[in-house]
Amino acid sequence: MRTDFETLQVQSPEFHILVVTLNRPAASNALNTQMGLDMLELFGGFYVDQQDIRCIILTGAGSKAFCAGGDLKQRNDMTEESWQNQHAVFEKMTLAMADCPIPIIAALNGAAFGGGLEMALSADFIYAARSARLAQTETRLGIMPGAGGTQNLPRACGVRRAKEIIFTGEPFTAEQGFEWGIVNRVCDDEMLMQEALATARKIAGNASIAVRQAKKSIGIATQTDLKTGYSFEIEAYNRMVPTEDRLEGVRAFNEKRKPDFKGR
């Protein structure tokens, strides 16, 4: 796995856990073309090889912003062709995050506006600092969410709330995000990463094959009818029966010890 990205800081503070930091603090970690390419390479690579990473935390550099959205300075005076070419990168980045088999926790350390909120919504769930502010501001710029916002937001908070958020472009607090189902946990600012790491540690301690299969099955749940989704769940379940981790989990339970999962 490459770690020398221009716009990302990639670190492994603990075994099986990766922290990915959007690293353009002077620009409020705004999403530019290079960041889209870096994110696409990193998350696209995990689709092929998880490299024994069992949980990813996505956060932003500094305390001001997680990601302020698309870099409007770069987009100023872009031709239609250039704009659409850039957006194609963002589209592939969004799909790469959605297809990443490793659980992703978005840790919002500050503002998550526009594409920044969409990036967070592409994660599996969100922890937010108490001071964080969130918004889908695209309609104020003559555009609309285009990195999954109109799909992921209503799935998180319901259609009517999503319409209000997108149509008005008004920012809302982390506490409101929690009340509406967008944010899983609101953390004191200084505790955000500690709490995200604690949860990542729990995920990483579980059987990685089981977690990946469960993630796939949950992803199908909103895409199809109940019976078809359950058929997928059964197929995902049956793939775990012959694994070493399944044997280890049951053996550890009976021996009253912590299981040592190998991802096999």
Where do the DSSP E strands lie in 146-245?
Answer: 172-173, 185-187
Is residue 5 within 8 Å of residue 18, measured between CB atoms? no
Is residue 133 within 8 Å of residue 171, measured between CB atoms? yes
Count CB atoms within 10 A of the CB of residue 121. 26
Backbone φ and ψ for 234, nearest 5 degrees, come out as -65, -45
Is residue 197 within 8 Å of residue 57, measured between CB atoms? yes
Report the catalytic residues: 118, 138
C-alpha closest to that of 58 among 29, 2, 18, 4: 18
Estimate the share of the chain in helix, then strand, then coil, as percent rounded to the nearest 5. Answer: 50, 15, 30
- Please give the pLDDT value at position 255: 84
Backbone φ and ψ for 8, nearest 5 degrees, come out as -125, 145
Q: Quick one: 81 exposed, middle or buried, by C-beta within 10 A (0-12, 13-18, 19+)? A: exposed
- Please give the domain boundaries of the chain with CATH numbers for all domains: 8-204 (3.90.226.10), 207-254 (1.10.12.10)
**What is the enclosing helix (H) or strand (E) of 80?**
helix 80-99
Is residue 57 within 8 Å of residue 18, measured between CB atoms? yes
Establish how many alpha carbons lie within 13 A of residue 159's alpha carbon, considering only the half-sphere containing its beta carbon: 0
Count CB atoms within 10 A of the CB of residue 223. 9
Is residue 223 within 8 Å of residue 250, measured between CB atoms? no
Tens of each residue's pLDDT in the chain, 264 residues: 788 999 999 999 999 999 999 999 999 999 999 999 999 999 999 999 999 999 999 999 998 999 998 888 888 888 989 989 989 999 999 999 999 999 999 999 999 999 999 999 999 999 999 999 999 999 998 888 989 999 999 999 999 999 999 999 999 999 999 999 999 999 999 999 999 999 999 999 998 889 999 999 888 888 888 888 888 888 887 887 888 887 878 788 788 888 888 878
- Per the listing, tokens 């989990």 go with 249
